[in-house]
Amino acid sequence: MQELKAARLEICAMLNQCQSCNLPLLHRRPGQKKRNNQFCATHCSFYREIQMKRRSMERLQIQRRAQLGVPRTGTMEPDEERVFVLS
């Protein structure tokens, strides 16, 4: 649990640092409010690190859910299989 919290805080710190970056804001269409993620992916030094941290955080979340006995989203337990009726 502590590892997951630390990973979340680390991502938040990186995103706060990334928000001060002006490069993506220079490369957006007029009227576009969102950041240009394609530009970030190729030019931002933090973007790849943030993506790696997010993946590791997702792995930690999956491990935690497995310890708690919560199934992964999208999977069905054998006793919960749905029967589809064709009409």
Question: In this predicted model, what pLDDT tens digit does every residue of 20-79 receive, in sequence order?
Answer: 555 555 555 566 666 556 666 666 767 777 788 888 888 888 888 888 887 666 555 555
Per DSSP, the residues of 26-87 read: HSS-TT--S--HHHHHHH-HHHHHHHHHHHHHHHHHHHHHHHHTPPPTT---GGGPPPP---
pLDDT for the residue numbered 36:
58
How do the domains of the chain map onto residue ranges?
2-72
The model's pTM is 0.49
pLDDT band at 12 (very low <50, low <70, confident <90, very high): confident
